[in-house]
Structure formats: structure tokens, C-alpha cells
Amino acid sequence: MDYSPAFEIAATSDRYVYPLFLFVIMLPIMPEIESLPEGASLQRHNLNHQAVEDYLKTIYMLAQDESPVSTSRIAEARGVKPASATSMIQRLAKFKLVNYEKHYGVTLTDAGEKVALEVIRHHRLIELYLIEALGFTWDEVHEQADILEHVISEKLEERIAAALNHPKFDPHGDPIPGKDGAMAWVDARPLTFHTLGDHLIITRILDDSNAELLRYLAELGLIPGAHIRIVAVAPFAGPITLEVGGETKVIGQKAASEILVKVDD
Ligand SMILES: [Zn+2]
Ligand SMILES: [Zn+2]
């Protein structure tokens, strides 16, 4: 199993100093829209590359649950009205980043998926880098990465990946796409699916944007890599009692549904 918890990487080391320096001096520099096709014409059409990347990323994520993705789900996820999501999607379709058919939904084209995976790679590498090199906590980094994912250059991305020894997972257990877009796959299911007495390992926390949830789980020791055992489940979808690091902890079904686990074998 090549799953290696992010936390095992040494926290501070000289090899981070140079990438950190690069990181800081390059922040104000907006990159060219090299990953987007027809970048110049995107700008002519008032299509902001950050908005384009955010939409493509959102569609990619939603498609993991159900594809094609409806425009209403995209609007909800972006926090915009359905009409503005639809108009954005029509523009993305014009640039051949998505396929869109009314009443059918949206799928990413190969070009759209490439952009989405590139942004997700940036996001997850940045999250890990902020923790390992700058001492951020795992509940702080998603917000930062959401901003920085759009502005780092390919060169900086490579340096961050190298400084972190080409990690396969981010601090929340989300797989980091490689340069080629390939991602590690872990056979994991929500904690709520498992039965009494199972020996489990936490692999991933689903909502890495929920800082409050992340702080709560960390307090309980429920982080990727932790070994746990289900001691009891109260009836009627009641609380789950867990054994974590020799201690007994109780969590509700809602929090448990955010925790992905695999069987410890
Ligand atoms: Zn994140
Ligand atoms: Zn994450």
C-alpha cells in the first residue's frame, strides 16, 4: 500500500527555504493562462481565468458523485443563481472546455478535465506545503489554497512537489493528481458504512473546507492515518463509539459520514 500520511514528512528543513523564498517573491506575479486553451481570447471575452478554473474544478468534483452534472448542482456549489451558472457554462462550452446539453447536463471535455486536474494538483500541493513548510494547521490551509491555486507557475508547482518528495495525498487524505493527471485510488468508505469491531484506518476527510469540523476531528485524534475500532453504534442512527489510540471517543453520524476509512489488514 503506497498510502503514506502527510504527517510523516519532517516539518522543518533547510530544503524548504529556497522554495519558500520563490513562493513569496512569485505571489504577485500573475501567470499566463498557459493551461487554458485560447487563453488570450478568454480574456477578450471577459472570462476571468480564475472563475473558469473554479467552475471546471467544481464540475470535476461534482461529477465524482454523479455525471453528467446538472446546472442547478453547479449553481448551488458555486453559490450563484442558476441563470448565471448556465451563462458561464454556455461560455465554457464555446471554448470546448465542457459539453453542455440542456436537460441533460454538463460533462468536462478532455481539455476541461486537464485544467481541473491541474488546479486540483496546485490546491492539494499548496495545502501540504503550507503545513509542512510554514506551520499552518490543517483547518487553515484550504482557504489559502483556494486563492493560491490559480496563481502559482508550473515551475513553482514543480519545486513544491519536489520539496515535498512528490506526495500522493494532501493533509486531508485527498489524492494529489500527478503531472499526467493520474491519482492514487484507495478502497475507502464512509465510517458510517462499517460494522462493529472493524479495525479501520482513516484515509480521508471529505469536506476539507469545513474548518470547524477539521478542528473537532483533530481534537478527537480522528485524522488520516489514525487506527480506529468501532466499539458501539447506538440504535436509530445514533452516536458511534470508537476506540482511538487507546481511548474511547463518541461521534455523531454526521461527523462520521465525513470520515472515509479502509479496513486495516
Ligand atoms: Zn482544500
Ligand atoms: Zn485538502
State pLDDT tens for residues 82-136: 999 999 999 999 999 999 998 899 999 999 999 999 999 999 999 999 999 999 9
Task: Return the percent helix, strand and coil in the chain, to nearest 5.
Answer: 45, 15, 40
Q: Nearest 5 degrees, angle CA 143-CA 2-CA 261?
A: 60
Q: Nearest 5 degrees, angle CA 231-CA 264-CA 63?
A: 100
Which listed ligand is nearest to 204 at the C-alpha? 2
- What does the pLDDT look like over 66-78, one tens digit per residue? 999 999 999 999 9
CA of 102 to the centre of ligand 2 (A): 32
Which listed ligand is nearest to 145 at the C-alpha? 1
Q: Which residues of 92-131 are buried (b: 16+ CB within 10 A; e: fewer)?
A: bbebebbbbeeeebbbbbebbbbbbbbbbbbbbbbbbbbb
Please check whether residue 108 is in contact with residue 128, taking contact to mean a CB–CB distance below 8 angstroms: no
pLDDT on residue 37? 52
Which listed ligand is nearest to 119 at the C-alpha? 1
pLDDT on residue 1? 39
* CATH no., domain 6-30+113-163: 1.10.60.10
Topology (CATH level 3) of domain 189-263 = SH3 type barrels. (2.30.30)
CA of 15 to the centre of ligand 2 (A): 23
Could you tell me the sign of the dihedral formed by the alpha carbons of 249, 137, 3, 169, in that order? Answer: positive
CA of 143 to the centre of ligand 2 (A): 10
pLDDT on residue 106? 97
* CATH no., domain 39-108: 1.10.10.10
Q: How many residues are there in the chain? A: 265
Listed by start position, the domains of the chain span 6-30+113-163, 39-108, 189-263
Which listed ligand is nearest to 167 at the C-alpha? 2
What stretches in the chain show pLDDT beneath 70?
Answer: 1-47
CA of 128 to the centre of ligand 1 (A): 10
Which listed ligand is nearest to 173 at the C-alpha? 2
CA of 222 to the centre of ligand 1 (A): 18
Nearest to 205 by CA among 219, 224, 192, 187: 224
Cross-strand pairs, 248: 243
pLDDT on residue 44? 55
Assign 172 to helix, strand or coil: coil
pLDDT on residue 42? 63
Nearest to 57 by CA among 3, 18, 108, 16: 108
CA of 209 to the centre of ligand 2 (A): 8
